[in-house]
A and B are shown apart, each in its own frame.
Chain A
Amino acid sequence: MSFLLNTLTTKREVDTAIRDTLDKVLVLRFGRASEPVCLQLDDILAKSSREISKFAVIALVDIDAEEVQVYAKYFDIVLIPSTVFFFNAHHMKMDSGTADHTKWVGSFQCKQDFIDVVEAIFRGAMKGKLIVSCPLPPEQIPRFQLLFKGL
C-alpha cells in the first residue's frame, strides 16, 4: 500500500515535508514496506489519508535509506513501524500510557483509531499544546519494551 502514499528516502525530502506542511499534522511513518506490521499500518494510513486530508498529511519514510539514518537516530527509532507526528515543524508528543511519548510504535487496530489519534493531536496543536493524551483505551494501544539508551 505504500505506493499510494509518498515515500521519502532522503533527508532533504523529509526536511521539505516537515517544513512545508503548515497548519496540518504531518504523520511520518518510519518503517519498511516489506515488514508485515508495517504493511498493516500502511494499509490503514492509505485508507484514511483522504478522510483526514483536511487537517493531516501522511508520508512514509523508508528506514533502510542511508540519508534517513540521522533521523532514525534523532528520533530514537529502534522498533518499526514508528510514527512521529509534527505540526508546523514542531514535534508533537502523545501520552498513550507507554514509556515512549515521542512516537507511536506499532500499528493501529482499526482506521478509526488512527483518525482519533490524529484528531487528538490536531486539536491539541491548535490549542498550543505540545503533548496530548491518547484518546484510545489501553487495550487498543500496542505494547512494547523500550530498549535502553546507548545500546
Chain B
Amino acid sequence: MTKLQKAKASMRPLAKKKGESGGESFEFCEVCNLNHDQGRRHRYFPKHSRTLANTLSRFQNKLSELQFFIRNPSFLRSEHAALNRIWCVFCALDISEIGDYFVCGNAIRHLASELHFWNLKRYLWKHGGGIDRVDLFRVSEADLLKWEKGCEALKNVASSSSEGPIGPVLGPSKDIQFKHELNSNKMDSFNNHSISSFSSNVSHPVLPLQIYTNENYGVCHPNDNGSATAAHVDKDSIPLSLGLRGNVYILIFRFVNKSGVECKRVDFKGKRGHVETVVYNIGTDYRESNGALQMLTPIALPSEGSPANVHTGGLPPWLDMCDEREKSLLNFGAHMNNHAPLAHKGKSKKLNPKRVGAAWAEKRRIELEMEKTGEIVKDSVDANWLPNFGRVWQAGTRKESRKEFERENKKMFKDVLHSEASSMLQPYISKRMRMGSSSKVEAAEPFIEQQ
C-alpha cells in the first residue's frame, strides 16, 4: 500500500463520523487546538476562522521564501542542511533538507507531491479555508519541472567548469569560486574588492558551525562601500551561501568580529549598481536556516567626518549637546520669569471673563497693585460700604435691596432717637372711660382695675 492509500484508508472512519448528525460526538480541531461537539458547524465560528487565517497566512509567508528558491535554484551546503526545516501544516510532518543538494529541495518536492496535495485538500475541506486557494499552498507540476531543470542546469554547469568531480560535499572554497565565476557573467559590474575577499578565503578550510548561536539580531556596523568592506573581512570568515534575486547579487559570509561576536556579512549589489555590505550579528537563524534570505535595507553612514560612536568610545549625542541645551534652557527660563503670573494665582490659563464679579476682581487687583507700589492710600473705604447682597425677601435688584436696607437703617436710627425722648409709659384709657370719667368715675374704676 502506498503512503497515499494508507492515508486515505485511515481517514475514512473520520469521514463517516462527520456524516452523523453533528453536535453529539466530540472531535478535535487541529486549528483551534480544541475538543468540540459542534460538528461541521465549528468551522464557521469566528474564532476558528480567525485562527485558520492566521495559520494559513503564516504558512504562506514561509512558502513565499520557498518560491524564491524555486525560481532560483541554488546549491545547499551540507553543514547547513540540518538547519533547514519546514513543518508542513497540512500533512503534519517535518521536512528537513538532509541529503539534499539544493536549497529547499525536499520541501519543494514535498509540496509538489500528490500526498501533500491530497492532505491540503482534506485540510481545507475540513477546516473551511477555501478550496479555491489550493494552488497557493502547493507547488504545481510546471513549477517543479522548471525547478528541476534549473537544478540540472546548475549541476551541468558546475560539473563542466570544475577541475575535478564535484561530490555532494565540496570544499567550500571551490564552490564559492565556481559560483562566483558562474554569476560574474550575469553581473553588469562587480566590485573587484569582493573578488579579492573571495580569494583570501580560498585557502582556508571551512569550519562547521559548532554552536547554534541565538544572540540578538541587529545591525553590527554597516559599511557602505566595497573598499571598506574588504578590509573588514577576516581570513576566518566563512562564505555561507550565494543567491541571485533579480538583479541583486547576494553573498553571505559568517565570521567573528573584533569583539568575538559571530557576525554575518551580506554583500549585495544594490540598485545603484555598486556592492553594498551589511554586517549582522548572528541571530535567530530561522531565516537563514531554511535558506531564504530576508533583504534588509542598509543605511549608509556618512563616510567623512563620522562622529565617534559607542564602539569607538565617543560621547552620546545628548551629552554632547548638553552645553547648547543649557544655554537655550537658561534663555527660556529668563523669558518665563519676565512673564510670571501673579504670586497668589499660579495658574497660567486665563480666568473666565464671564465669572461672577469679574469686573470687580480686575478693578480690585489693579487697586491692590497700586496700593503696593504706594500710588493710592490704602483702605480708603467708606465706613458704610455694604457688599452686593440679595436679601431674603428681595423684590427687585440687589442694589435696590441694599438701598432699602439703608433706608430701613436710617429710619430705625431715627425711630430710636425719637423713642428715647418719649420713654414714659402710660396705661391705656379708652374713650368711654375718658368720657365717662368725669360723670361716673366710681363705676369705671373696677373696669380699670381689671385691666
**With A86-B387, A89-B388, A102-B390 given, is the CB distance from A126 to B355 under 8 Å?**
yes
Q: Does A3 make an interface contact (CB < 8 A)?
A: no
Please classify how large the interface on chain A is, using the bins under 10, 10 to 19, 20 to 34, 35 or more.
20 to 34
* Neighbour of B351 across the interface among A12, A23, A91, CB < 8 A: A23
Q: Does A129 make an interface contact (CB < 8 A)?
A: yes
**With A90-B356, A92-B356 given, is the CB distance from A22 to B361 under 8 Å?**
yes
Q: Is the CB of A130 within 8 A of B390?
A: yes
B371 CB, nearest partner CB in chain A, Å: 10
Q: Does B185 make an interface contact (CB < 8 A)?
A: no
- A127 / chain B contacts, CB cutoff of 8 Å: 352, 354-355
Q: Is the CB of B368 within 8 A of A20?
A: yes
Query: Which of B187-195, B319-327, B391-399, B422-430 lies on the face that meets chain A?
Result: B391-399
Secondary structure at the A interface, as helix, strand, loop or mixed, is mixed
Q: Is the CB of A102 within 8 A of B356?
A: no
Q: Does B364 make an interface contact (CB < 8 A)?
A: yes
Q: Does B383 make an interface contact (CB < 8 A)?
A: yes
Q: Does A128 make an interface contact (CB < 8 A)?
A: yes
Q: Does B385 make an interface contact (CB < 8 A)?
A: yes
- B352 / chain A contacts, CB cutoff of 8 Å: 126-128
Chain B: which residue is nearest A149 at the CB level? B393
Q: Give the distance in Å from the alpha carbon of A16 to the alpha carbon of B392 in the complex.
A: 24
Give per-residue flags for B352-375: 1 if the beta carbon is below 8 A from chain A beta carbons, else 0: 101111101100110010000000
Q: Does B405 make an interface contact (CB < 8 A)?
A: yes
Q: Does A15 make an interface contact (CB < 8 A)?
A: yes
**With A88-B355, A127-B352, A128-B354 given, is the CB distance from A23 to B361 under 8 Å?**
yes
A78 CB, nearest partner CB in chain B, Å: 10
Q: Does B418 make an interface contact (CB < 8 A)?
A: no
* Neighbour of B356 across the interface among A20, A88, A146, CB < 8 A: A88
Q: Give the distance in Å from the alpha carbon of A75 to the alpha carbon of B385 in the complex.
A: 14
- B393 / chain A contacts, CB cutoff of 8 Å: 149
Give the residues from 5 to 19 in chain A that come closer than 8 angstroms, CB to CB, to chain B: 11-12, 15-16, 18-19
Chain A: which residue is nearest B382 at the CB level? A15
Q: Give the distance in Å from the alpha carbon of A149 to the alpha carbon of B395 in the complex.
A: 14
Q: Does A76 make an interface contact (CB < 8 A)?
A: yes
**With A127-B352, A128-B355 given, is the CB distance from A76 to B391 under 8 Å?**
yes
Q: Does B44 make an interface contact (CB < 8 A)?
A: no
Q: Does A119 make an interface contact (CB < 8 A)?
A: no
Q: Is the CB of A125 within 8 A of B356?
A: yes
Q: Is the CB of B388 within 8 A of A91?
A: yes
A123 CB, nearest partner CB in chain B, Å: 10
* Neighbour of A22 across the interface among B365, B379, B381, B391, CB < 8 A: B365
Q: Does A93 make an interface contact (CB < 8 A)?
A: yes
Give per-residue flags for A73-86: 1 if the beta carbon is below 8 A from chain B beta carbons, else 0: 11110000000001
Chain A: which residue is nearest B379 at the CB level? A16
Q: Is the CB of B389 within 8 A of A102?
A: yes
Give the residues from 182 to 231 in chain B that come closer than 8 angstroms, CB to CB, to chain A: none
- B409 / chain A contacts, CB cutoff of 8 Å: 70, 73
Q: Does A108 make an interface contact (CB < 8 A)?
A: no
Q: Is the CB of B364 within 8 A of A91?
A: no
- A18 / chain B contacts, CB cutoff of 8 Å: 387
Q: Give the distance in Å from the alpha carbon of A85 to the alpha carbon of B233 in the complex.
A: 84
Chain B: which residue is nearest A25 at the CB level? B356
Q: Give the distance in Å from the alpha carbon of A101 to the alpha carbon of B394 in the complex.
A: 11
Q: Give the distance in Å from the alpha carbon of A102 to the alpha carbon of B386 in the complex.
A: 15
- B381 / chain A contacts, CB cutoff of 8 Å: 12, 15, 19
- A62 / chain B contacts, CB cutoff of 8 Å: none
B415 CB, nearest partner CB in chain A, Å: 13
Q: Is the CB of A88 within 8 A of B358?
A: yes
* Neighbour of A20 across the interface among B364, B392, B398, CB < 8 A: B364
Q: Is the CB of A129 within 8 A of B389?
A: no
Q: Give the distance in Å from the alpha carbon of A23 to the alpha carbon of B365 in the complex.
A: 10
Q: Which of B356, B386, B388, B398: most chain A CB closer than 10 A?
A: B356
- B398 / chain A contacts, CB cutoff of 8 Å: 91
Q: Give the distance in Å from the alpha carbon of A52 to the alpha carbon of B200 in the complex.
A: 81
A contact residues vs B (CB 8 Å cutoff):
11-12, 15-16, 18-20, 22-23, 70, 73-76, 86-93, 100-102, 124-130, 146, 149
B contact residues vs A (CB 8 Å cutoff):
345, 351-352, 354-358, 360-361, 364-365, 368, 379, 381, 383, 385-393, 398, 405, 409
Besides A87-B355, A125-B356, 9 new A-B residue pairs in contact (Cβ under 8 A), listed by A number: A90-B356, A91-B389, A92-B356, A100-B392, A102-B392, A126-B355, A130-B390, A146-B392, A149-B393
- Interchain residue pairs A-B with the least CB separation, the first 5: A88-B357, A128-B354, A90-B357, A125-B356, A91-B389
Q: 8 A–B contact pairs at CB < 8 A?
A: A88-B360, A90-B387, A93-B390, A102-B391, A126-B355, A128-B354, A129-B356, A149-B393
